[in-house]
Structure 1
Amino acid sequence: MPRWFNTAGPCVAANHYMLPALRRLPELRTLIDQQGYFVVHAPRQTGKTTALRSLARELTAEGRYVAVHVSMEMGNPFSQDVGAAELAVLEEWRRDAVHQLPAELQPPPFPNAPPGSRISVALTSWAEAAPRPLVVFLDEVDALRDVTLLSVLRQLRSGYPRRPKNFPSAMALMGLRDVRDYKVATEDREHLGTASPFNIKVRSLTLRNFTAEEVAELYAQHTADTGQRFEPEALALAFESTQGQPWLVNALAKVAVEELVPDRSQPIRREDVERARSVLIARRETHLDSLTDKLREPRVRAILEPVLAGTFAGGGDSYQDDLQYTRDLGLCAPDDPVRVANPIYQELIARVLAGNAEPKVVVAPRSFVLPDGRFDFDRMLREFAAFWREHGEVLAAGMTYHEVAPQLVLMAFLQRVVNGGGQVDREYGVGRGRIDLLVRWPYEENGQRRLQRHALELKVWREGEKDPLAKGLVQLEEYLERLGLDEGVLVIFDRRPEAGGTETRTRFEQAQSPSGRKVTVLRA
């Protein structure tokens, strides 16, 4: 049976291309042997369930433990009814155990118990009946809420001293978030913070992304099965675009090999990966949609808005917690400097945040294509200036991310007119007050494939600051130097109250970079 790239649910070795599930969690066996209770948290679709199910099968097959992977998700609708949540969860556990364990290792009938103690009693009876130490991986724990969540965590803490004979010997709580970020509406808090009842955890682990070598290794499985190879430039772009995020790595390849290049005799080239990336962004499939749904949460906005604006986030007591939460969701890279996790998310976030502006751009994209197939970049600038004069202030005022609203309007305009023929690449200069954009437009000349490139730098002139022109020219020079371009565009959005309306302040100027490169300045 042919295998395929999986983008839905846990991977199955017989059906899917996959890497060794536990390679990215080498500490787990030691924690289990030490009777540890620990947390495994990572963004959706990174392989948590695949890894822990695989480990449960291995541990049981080796004969040292009874290991099972079960879910808490069925308790989600009952955030205020502990008893109903417990019954729903335990019924699902029994079905999970039947599918995962031989009859002699399945749990006995769970005893009747008062609400608020059923999880503890069930785990106690199971551990006492099991012929070996019981290991339980509790998935989707952060699907629970409020009093139900607090009750379950307290029951686990209460039973912990009775292990390994009368309670699970080892246990993992699995979910998107670390315990401190579990949702709970109690007193004046919306999440547990340092007051977690699960203070028995010995470690909090997360799954790293794939390395570039692992992306190549995964794609090589497709080549071995089908003969269809990925060219080196395609592999490099796949890693660059995804930064190894497992769902994106699989989804990118799936679109490329199943939709764009289904002929197995043809290799996957760099341009195929670029097209696949555009398809993923345009579709905003379930995984991507669930991420973008988080953008309007105040904790996420507190981190991402300054990242997109190129400024520094405010200090504040909650900054580190908010940053870790945004990283746990997978929206920000796991290391410093603070930045969006990968170019695909970067593009997607900008499109989502500018979503209300793009429908207002009614110009026809084909009208910007010259007779020889090149992109009319000068006309694009003029048309945007006219668009900004008429609609800019209103559209910017309606943006959720106010600090980066003008830049989002420009990016929405660009996306509309470039979409389908070219590509807009984004770079956010964290702490440098800038956004760099590169418009890439492929065309043919005398039968040869060519590529137009136009660089823009976006800056904002805020109240109390100096005119950013001089600094912007220096920064744009660096960007042009890196790209090997001789000219560029500096866009300065003047947000000072004294600047007047868009009609009076929107104009073009000509300038030069420090080394003499030609710069078109658009003040808006």
Structure 2
Amino acid sequence: MLPPLPRLPQALRFAQEGAYFVLHAPRQTGKTTTLAALAGALNATGEYAAVRFSCERASLLDDPADAEARILDAIRIEAENAELAPECLPPTPWSDASRGNRLFHGLRTWAEQCPRKLVLLIDEIDSLKGPVLVSALRLLRDGYTSANIRFPHSVVLCGMRNVRDYKAASGGDPTRLGTSSPFNISAGSLRIDDFSMSEIAELYGQHTDLTGQKFSDEAVERAYHASQGQPWLVNALARDIIEMMEVPADEEITDELMDRAVERLIAQRATHLDSLAARLHEPRVSRFIQPMITGGGVAGDATYDDDLSYVRDLGLVTRASPPLISNPIYQEVIGRVLSHSVQHQIDAEPKAFLLPDGRLDVPKIQRDFVAFWKANAEILDTDRTYHEAACHLVFQAFLQRVVNGGGLIDREYALGRRRLDLMIHKPYLADDGRRALQQSAFELKVRSEVTGDQIADGLEQLDGYLDRLGLDTGTLVVFDRRRNAPPVTERTSIGTAESPSGRVITLIRA
């Protein structure tokens, strides 16, 4: 485990200065661990009484008065677990104030009685909904802005979302944060970052120190590339190799083992990945993910910035501009989840696409997809949530079905690229018996009334993709989405074209 506080040094300073601030990060990135470490560090000074508690037990309640009772219970339990000195514990009973006022008066009374500065670290604050969330934040604001009463010295609001998105969760307009809003008291918003490659090496190095089992440099690099440092993924990959594959402690963990762990993790779709996949059909999510798949753009409107903040806070996309899917594992999971229903309709035997040496028969993949598209396009190109990306998802489903765990599909998603680049990585044995890797590149584009014919642009863009990969050839697939396009059986064909640099490219018109 990496020490959490050095990764977030501002948090301790904010708490000591008496700030009310936000700590947020996607699920399973170390938020609760960081809060516990922060509480421990503050309590160790002898100056603060810091208590971390969760709002989850009040998450299903709609009545603020009922919720405050659950929250006060959670505070008392965690204060006792924190082993605070008796004089620092909450008052017993909390308060005889009327319903709806007990949380405010309870915290005020506790702060008045406690000989230390009181710090509340509120975990899962964004699990509260509607009026319950508004009420909780408003009472914190009232206490924060009141000069004549004692109230908690510092409050940390911790959850998956930034404070601006709390207003959307409560049913309000996140674009209007007026001066009387309960959402505008935070002194800052801190985000727990993903691991760097050196931090992954440090974390895996702890395992080496304890067991003697080494991770090769290439395995660490592969883990970083696949996860981009997402903490849960970094841990899950190592755990799969060590505990599930049961690789002996005297055997070095190589990049080949890490590749297997990546594929196994994607195929298993563990809880963390499933929780992200469940979000894909939310309108706020699909408005960004769909154009990433197609390479299109997102229309800017009043909710654009807040929706973008939301998918970033979920951890689905990067904080870069333009946004990208956060890591290759998420890219693969998104592609598989959205194309899953189509895969069951593809009657293709993966072994039929293998050559004797274990490579994929790419020409057969191309021919069989053309036949499949002619027979099924009008039925499959009807996805409702991701209608604009339906043809892209069908092609990915076909590739996934024929690759079927024997290789990896690398998907390059990005807004505004006007294309989707795909790469199949397929291990095989070379003539000398050594492990080798087959790489096959595909580029997908869409012809519409707006874009016009895409072949010339596609060949030029594919040239750049192949240059970057060091490959001699590739496949360009152009889907015709015009309303007056010829019937699919007439317009779908396979042939060749020459790229601007002179490469012979397989051209599929669909």
Asked whether the two chains share a fold, i.e. TM above 0.5, the reply is yes
Is 1:324 matched with 2:309?
yes
User: What letter is aligned with 2:156?
Assistant: A
1:199 aligns with 184
| Structure 1 residues 163 and 126, CA gap change in structure 2 (3 angstroms) | farther
Distance (whole Å) between structure 2 residues aligned to residue 67 and residue 102 of structure 1: 9
**1:178 aligned residue (162, 166, 175):** 162
2:23 aligns with 40
CA deviation after TM superposition for structure 1 residue 399, in Å: 4.6
CA deviation after TM superposition for structure 1 residue 393, in Å: 2.6
1:25 aligns with 8
User: What letter is aligned with 1:407?
Assistant: H
1:406 aligns with 391
Distance (whole Å) between structure 1 residues aligned to residue 290 and residue 239 of structure 2: 32
Q: SS of the residue aligned with 2:9?
A: coil
Distance (whole Å) between structure 2 residues aligned to residue 332 and residue 143 of structure 1: 21
**2:64 aligned residue (73, 79, 82):** 82
2:77 aligns with 95
Bigger shift: 470-479 or 306-315? 306-315
Distance (whole Å) between structure 1 residues aligned to residue 44 and residue 371 of structure 2: 69
2:436 aligns with 450
Distance (whole Å) between structure 1 residues aligned to residue 169 and residue 233 of structure 2: 33
Structural mapping, 1:345-356, within 5 Å:
345-356=330-341
1:434 aligns with 419
Structural mapping, 1:24-423, within 5 Å:
24-79=7-62, 81-104=63-86, 105-109=88-92, 110-162=94-146, 166-182=150-166, 189=172, 194=177, 196-423=181-408
Contact 1:42 1:329 in 2 (8 A): yes
Where does structure 2 lack aligned partners over 5 or more consecutive residues? none
Aligned length: 505
User: What letter is aligned with 1:339?
Assistant: L
Distance (whole Å) between structure 1 residues aligned to residue 155 and residue 461 of structure 2: 52
User: What letter is aligned with 1:53?
Assistant: A
Contact 1:511 1:521 in 2 (8 A): yes
* 1:231-256 residue CA offsets vs partner (Å, 9 max, x unmatched): 11111111111111111111111112
| Structure 1 residues 269 and 101, CA gap change in structure 2 (3 angstroms) | same
Bigger shift: 448-457 or 341-350? 448-457
CA deviation after TM superposition for structure 1 residue 183, in Å: 5.8
CA deviation after TM superposition for structure 1 residue 102, in Å: 2.9
User: What letter is aligned with 2:77?
Assistant: R
CA deviation after TM superposition for structure 1 residue 206, in Å: 0.9
2:478 aligns with 492
User: What letter is aligned with 2:479?
Assistant: F
Contact 1:260 1:272 in 2 (8 A): no
Distance (whole Å) between structure 1 residues aligned to residue 43 and residue 177 of structure 2: 34
Contact 2:134 2:182 in 1 (8 A): yes
Contact 2:167 2:183 in 1 (8 A): no
| Structure 1 residues 229 and 146, CA gap change in structure 2 (3 angstroms) | same
Contact 2:22 2:158 in 1 (8 A): yes
Q: SS of the residue aligned with 1:498?
A: coil
Contact 2:129 2:170 in 1 (8 A): no
Q: SS of the residue aligned with 1:493?
A: strand
1:12 aligns with none
Distance (whole Å) between structure 2 residues aligned to residue 186 and residue 107 of structure 1: 29
User: What letter is aligned with 1:44?
Assistant: R
Distance (whole Å) between structure 2 residues aligned to residue 325 and residue 185 of structure 1: 11
User: What letter is aligned with 2:34?
Assistant: A
* 1:93-149 residue CA offsets vs partner (Å, 9 max, x unmatched): 211111112341321211122222121112112111211110110111111111111
CA deviation after TM superposition for structure 1 residue 459, in Å: 0.5
* 1:312-369 residue CA offsets vs partner (Å, 9 max, x unmatched): 2112122111111111110110222211111111111111111221111121111212
1:479 aligns with 465
CA deviation after TM superposition for structure 1 residue 372, in Å: 3.1
Distance (whole Å) between structure 2 residues aligned to residue 161 and residue 398 of structure 1: 51
User: What letter is aligned with 1:93?
Assistant: I
Distance (whole Å) between structure 1 residues aligned to residue 54 and residue 147 of structure 2: 21
CA deviation after TM superposition for structure 1 residue 415, in Å: 0.7
* 1:263-304 residue CA offsets vs partner (Å, 9 max, x unmatched): 011111111111111111111111111111111111111222
Bigger shift: 167-176 or 249-258? 249-258
Distance (whole Å) between structure 2 residues aligned to residue 333 and residue 298 of structure 1: 19
User: What letter is aligned with 2:143?
Assistant: G
| Structure 1 residues 127 and 338, CA gap change in structure 2 (3 angstroms) | same
1:509 aligns with 495
2:451 aligns with 465
Where does structure 1 lack aligned partners over 5 or more consecutive residues? 1-17
Distance (whole Å) between structure 1 residues aligned to residue 169 and residue 365 of structure 2: 50
CA deviation after TM superposition for structure 1 residue 483, in Å: 1.3
CA deviation after TM superposition for structure 1 residue 443, in Å: 1.4
User: What letter is aligned with 2:471?
Assistant: L
Distance (whole Å) between structure 2 residues aligned to residue 131 and residue 352 of structure 1: 54
Q: SS of the residue aligned with 1:301?
A: helix
Distance (whole Å) between structure 2 residues aligned to residue 219 and residue 398 of structure 1: 42
User: What letter is aligned with 1:111?
Assistant: S
User: What letter is aligned with 1:521?
Assistant: L
| Structure 1 residues 45 and 272, CA gap change in structure 2 (3 angstroms) | same
Distance (whole Å) between structure 2 residues aligned to residue 364 and residue 297 of structure 1: 34
CA deviation after TM superposition for structure 1 residue 29, in Å: 2.1
Q: SS of the residue aligned with 1:194?
A: coil
User: What letter is aligned with 1:453?
Assistant: Q
Contact 2:143 2:149 in 1 (8 A): no
Contact 2:228 2:326 in 1 (8 A): yes
| Structure 1 residues 220 and 163, CA gap change in structure 2 (3 angstroms) | farther
Bigger shift: 107-116 or 327-336? 107-116
User: What letter is aligned with 1:226?
Assistant: T
Give the share of equivalent positions with the same residue, in percent.
47
1:9 aligns with none
CA deviation after TM superposition for structure 1 residue 192, in Å: 7.7
Q: SS of the residue aligned with 1:487?
A: coil
Normalising by structure 1, report the TM-score.
Answer: 0.93
CA deviation after TM superposition for structure 1 residue 26, in Å: 1.1
User: What letter is aligned with 2:8?
Assistant: L
CA deviation after TM superposition for structure 1 residue 40, in Å: 0.8
CA deviation after TM superposition for structure 1 residue 163, in Å: 7.1
CA deviation after TM superposition for structure 1 residue 370, in Å: 2.3
Contact 2:72 2:103 in 1 (8 A): yes
